[in-house]
A and B are shown apart, each in its own frame.
Chain A
Amino acid sequence: MIEAHTLPRLFAGATDRPLSLAHHEEVFQPDGDVANVLEELNASGLIGRGGAGFPTSRKVELLRNQRGHKYVVVNGMEGEPAAHKDFRLLSTNPHLVLDGAEMLASMIGASRIAVCVARDNPTVVHHVEQAIHERARRNLRGPGIDLHTPPWRFVAGEESALVHWLDDNESLPQYRPGRPHILRIGRGPVLVDNAETCANVGLIGRYGAQWFRSLGTDDHPGSVVVSVTGAVQRPSVLEVNLGTPLRAILASAGADTSPQAVLLGGYGGAWLRGDQIDTPYSNDALAAHNLSVGAGIIAVLPRQACGVAEAHRVVRWMAHESARQCGPCAFGLPALAEDLFAVLRGGRDGVVAIARLQERCGVIEGRGACRHPDGVVRFVRSSIDAFAADIDDHLRGAPCAGAQSKQRFLSVPTLEHEEDLIWE
């Protein structure tokens, strides 16, 4: 039995190896006063941990009212290169995630569960495979669990792309004009939830809503798993109480506690200036700065880094990761990257580019099938705001030392084919 108010919750009993089913059941013993998981889930106010911040109970309610052969999809794709939380969760305690998925399946009446993990991470795939095997051996009743391993791409983790993969073997987002929109595999409605959300459901199903709400804030209860990268000794994954000041999180991750800026919410997120890091880390407090927790990514940019150069790298990579289905995304994002490069080089081109950048952001926003371009626009706008002084220096032709040095801090995968940026 885990104690009520201490962390870790999701990582309780975690070791280097994934917990076996027997060990898992020993660590997470149900305390027996949960009668109806659905009611507890409604009362818990759990907000999805995948990035969109949608209440899980609303999604479940939506799916309960559907008919047909239903599915639960566990999203462990971890699209963001700066995040490691789903992988970490699935390789420390896959059974907690699977428990949550089974509870969700029984709530909506689903007959199959699909766990999706990127095939680029064979260790995690192996751990999940083992866990599913173990359950099958123990002959647990309930829905069948399958493992699916789509190739890793940024947009492959987007929920409609994931369902598209399961349905049709294409990792491409789908057009969804009216929201909320129910995704389907064949004709069966699908509930997609992030691995961390499932793990939280697994806990709520055991210990109830009241226990769950004992951490976090009223509007954003529970704990969250954050991935801290950038200016840290070692990129780390921590479980924190929602509402902890960001400074405390940075300190416990061993990160730079007087950074230039902190990127929250991943590469489709926005910057928090270094002097604002005493803000509590939860959606309600961050909303004042137009930010959200998102998928729990905290990328720390130290003072010596060049924000413009980092922003350019991220945008160039994000442009490369576009699925290239929609014109405004396929052409617009590379154009944003080019503009940022012009700003980086400075001079007269830079002055033109910065004006064009603002204009292009407005043109691109909201015109893709998925939220990928909107995320990039958000990131670009926030970078222009956060690094306004640096941009001025670049435009005057006197960039800081950080721009000249080759050291970069944000983790961006290397582009295999740079020429891919030029489309067709």
Chain B
Amino acid sequence: MGVIRRAGMFVLQVNPILCDGFGHCAELAPELVHLDEWGYPIIASDPVPMADVGSYQSARYAERGCPRQALHVAKVATPVPITNVDVRPPTTVSRGRRPL
């Protein structure tokens, strides 16, 4: 899969013209995609942080597994640094002095 860059955000986009509602994406990336009553994917349009490696990997799987090649993982440039995402559990921080 190559190097995963953990900065920035991504969105999974579907080209609705190409998509024929096979529904593979919902199986490959269940955390990002669910299907509507006609079997077409509904994908949240909010960007997901790259640091969420599980989601990113599923998005890549879905992109590759889509029989119509209708999916695309788009990187979103984030002007502000992401502060509210725990990239790694802060195990080392607890040893230092912490403000009360």
B-contacting residues of A (Cβ < 8 Å)?
A: 172-175, 177, 325-329, 331-332, 335, 363, 366-369
B85 at interface (Cβ–Cβ under 8 A)?
A: no
CA–CA, A163 and B37, complex, Å: 32
The answer to whether B72 touches A177, judged by C-beta atoms less than 8 angstroms apart, is yes
B40 at interface (Cβ–Cβ under 8 A)?
A: yes
Q: Which of B1-30 contact A (CB under 8 A)?
A: 13, 15-21
Query: Which residues does chain A contribute within 8 Å of B39, judged by CB atoms?
Result: 327
CA–CA, A340 and B94, complex, Å: 60
The answer to whether B17 touches A367, judged by C-beta atoms less than 8 angstroms apart, is no
Grouping DSSP codes into helix (H, G, I), strand (E, B) and loop, the B interface class, with mixed when no group exceeds half, is loop
Q: Which of B42-76 contact A (CB under 8 A)?
A: 42, 45, 72, 74
CA–CA, A327 and B18, complex, Å: 10
CA–CA, A331 and B19, complex, Å: 13
Query: Which residues does chain A contribute within 8 Å of B16, judged by CB atoms?
Result: 175, 325-329, 367-369
The answer to whether B19 touches A327, judged by C-beta atoms less than 8 angstroms apart, is yes
CA–CA, A369 and B18, complex, Å: 10
The answer to whether B42 touches A175, judged by C-beta atoms less than 8 angstroms apart, is no
CA–CA, A68 and B72, complex, Å: 28
Candidate in B13, B16, B20, B72 with the most chain A CB atoms within 10 angstroms: B16
Give the residue name and chain of the B residue nearest to A327 (CB).
B40
- Beyond A177-B15, A331-B38, 6 additional contacts (C-beta under 8 Å) are A174-B17, A175-B15, A327-B20, A327-B36, A332-B38, A368-B16
The answer to whether B17 touches A369, judged by C-beta atoms less than 8 angstroms apart, is yes
CA–CA, A322 and B61, complex, Å: 31
Q: List 12 A-B contacts (CB under 8 A).
A: A177-B15, A177-B74, A326-B16, A326-B19, A327-B20, A328-B16, A328-B38, A332-B38, A363-B36, A367-B40, A369-B15, A369-B17
The answer to whether B40 touches A328, judged by C-beta atoms less than 8 angstroms apart, is yes
CA–CA, A92 and B36, complex, Å: 48
CB distance from A371 to the nearest CB of B (A): 12
CB distance from B55 to the nearest CB of A (A): 19
CA–CA, A366 and B38, complex, Å: 16
Query: Which residues does chain B contribute within 8 Å of A175, judged by CB atoms?
Result: 15-18
CA–CA, A335 and B16, complex, Å: 18
The answer to whether B38 touches A326, judged by C-beta atoms less than 8 angstroms apart, is no
Query: Which residues does chain B contribute within 8 Å of A366, judged by CB atoms?
Result: 45
CA–CA, A268 and B16, complex, Å: 20
CA–CA, A360 and B64, complex, Å: 29
CB distance from B72 to the nearest CB of A (A): 7
CA–CA, A331 and B21, complex, Å: 11
CA–CA, A22 and B39, complex, Å: 60
CA–CA, A255 and B40, complex, Å: 44
The answer to whether B17 touches A177, judged by C-beta atoms less than 8 angstroms apart, is no
